[in-house]
């Protein structure tokens, strides 16, 4: 009997699995997020990194969508610090002060305050960047609970390690969702930085390249000098302006920002020392100082710092031929005014001649208009038996030109007034 072998059908090769559209979307998203960074000057970013280096709490103020959160994320990545984000407004006060846990014998051991999980993770890591976001939407009870965290770095019975830095972000009350003004005690614990967008930075960043946040390079050889300079600057101002030591603003909105107190002056002293050791620009230093003690006291301190950098008038009068005058116009003007004031306080012919030589040097190395007022004042100090120095000839043209310009301006103003009167 013949046995029939069933016909075997050839196997059909399996079709490759179709790629999920979600996978393709994920690839596209990854390409969009693939950006690089570059070193480029950025005053507000440098001010932020200096305050972080000084281990001072920083509060970034800016409108929604301005890039505060993105800047903090990039800062944590650049500094290789684990980022822990806590939305202050969605937490209860006990989340920052600690949750009471009843132990075996509360009468003997008390009731410990257990910290939240994110605080435990920071302690275990030993370092990190704690980002308190949406601070201006936190109600007063939560703000009160944050006081000890921001100042003492304590949450319940847990002490955050020194390697943890604190940065917060807030929107102005006008643009915050159900916003509150910051309480004065909490506001006075922060360095307040106004965070704004730079058109070029945004355009280049959207093109794939954002600024890189780096820790400031502190010069080891300048540390002692930086501390001495910072102490002289702050103590020198407060010695002559004692009312600036503590000024609680009367306006509620201003109390929620930077204002002067012994605590904020101590923070300012630290920031000046760090900025000096890092060789930071005046613009960066201005952001830090005004963000700590406020605009008014901050501008007074900046003006005081400028005067500290001015050369000694007596040194300039002793050797006018080799005198180094400041490059900045306002500082040069103040230096020349100081020289003339020194001659007025102790007038004699050699000092008068030396002052004229300095004015000629200023004329040769800077803007001519800066010597007009000092030259006019110095000429009025001449006594009858003093011969006119030859150097005054070089200044005569500048002074006369300035006077002619002033007279022309006066005549133009008079003509405008007459025309206005006639048009009535």
Q: pLDDT tens, 238-263?
A: 988 899 999 999 888 889 999 999 99
Say yes or no to pLDDT of 211 above 60.
yes
Lowest mean pLDDT among 102-106, 361-365, 385-389: 102-106
Say yes or no to pLDDT of 382 above 70.
yes
| CATH number for the segment(s) 39-96+114-211 | 3.40.50.300
Residues 6 or more apart whose CB falls under 8 angstroms from that of 321 comprise: 357, 361
Residues 263-273: what's their mean pLDDT? 97
Say yes or no to pLDDT of 31 above 60.
yes
Cα–Cα distance between 330 and 216 in angstroms, integer?
Answer: 28
Residues 342-356: what's their mean pLDDT? 89
Average pLDDT for the chain: 83
The domain limits of the chain are: 39-96+114-211, 220-309, 313-422
What is the radius of gyration, based on Cα positions, of the chain?
33
pLDDT score, position 405: 37
Q: Are strands 163-170 and 58-61 parallel, antiparallel or unpaired?
A: parallel
Say yes or no to pLDDT of 414 above 60.
no
Q: Could you tell me the pTM of the whole model?
A: 0.73
pLDDT score, position 80: 87
Of all residues in the chain, the percent with pLDDT exceeding 70 is 84
């Amino acid at each position: 009997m013949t046995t029939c072998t069933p016909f075997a059908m050839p196997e059909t090769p399996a079709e490759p699995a179709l790629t999920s559209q979600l996978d393709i979307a994920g690839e596209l998203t990854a390409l969009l997020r693939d950006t690089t960074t570059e070193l480029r000057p950025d005053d507000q970013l440098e001010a932020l990194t200096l305050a972080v280096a000084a281990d001072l709490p920083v509060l970034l103020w800016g409108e929604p969508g301005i890039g505060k959160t993105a800047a903090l994320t990039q800062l944590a990545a650049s500094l290789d610090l684990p980022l822990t984000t806590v939305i202050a407004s969605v937490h209860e006060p006990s989340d920052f002060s600690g949750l009471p846990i009843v132990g075996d014998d509360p009468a003997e051991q008390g009731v410990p305050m257990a910290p939240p999980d994110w605080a435990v993770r920071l302690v275990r890591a030993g370092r990190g960047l704690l980002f308190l976001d949406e601070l201006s939407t936190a109600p007063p009870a939560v703000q009160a609970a944050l006081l000890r965290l921001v100042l003492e770095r304590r949450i319940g019975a847990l002490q955050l390690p020194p390697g943890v830095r604190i940065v917060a972000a807030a929107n102005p009350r006008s643009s915050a969702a159900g916003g509150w003004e910051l309480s004065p005690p909490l506001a006075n614990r922060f360095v307040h930085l106004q965070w704004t967008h730079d058109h070029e930075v945004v355009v280049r960043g959207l093109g794939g390249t954002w600024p890189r946040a780096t820790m400031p390079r502190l010069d080891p050889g300048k540390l002692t000098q930086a501390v001495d300079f910072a102490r002289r600057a702050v103590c020198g101002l407060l010695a002559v302006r004692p009312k600036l030591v503590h000024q609680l603003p009367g306006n509620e909105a201003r109390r929620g920002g930077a204002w002067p107190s012994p605590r904020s002056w101590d923070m300012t002293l630290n920031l000046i020392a760090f900025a000096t050791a890092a060789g930071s620009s005046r613009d960066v230093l201005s952001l830090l100082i005004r963000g700590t003690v406020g605009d008014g006291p901050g501008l007074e301190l900046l003006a005081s710092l400028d005067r500290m950098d001015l050369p000694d008038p007596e040194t300039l009068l002793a050797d006018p031929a080799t005198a180094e005058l400041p490059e900045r116009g306002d500082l040069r003007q103040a230096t020349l005014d100081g020289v003339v004031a020194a001659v007025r306080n102790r007038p004699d012919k050699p000092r008068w001649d030396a002052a004229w030589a300095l004015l000629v040097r200023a004329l040769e190395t800077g803007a001519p208009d800066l010597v007009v007022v000092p030259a006019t004042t110095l000429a009025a100090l001449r006594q009858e038996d003093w011969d006119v120095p030859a150097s005054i000839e070089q200044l005569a043209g500048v002074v006369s030109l300035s006077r002619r310009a002033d007279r022309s301006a006066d005549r133009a103003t008079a003509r405008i007034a007459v025309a206005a009167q006639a048009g009535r």
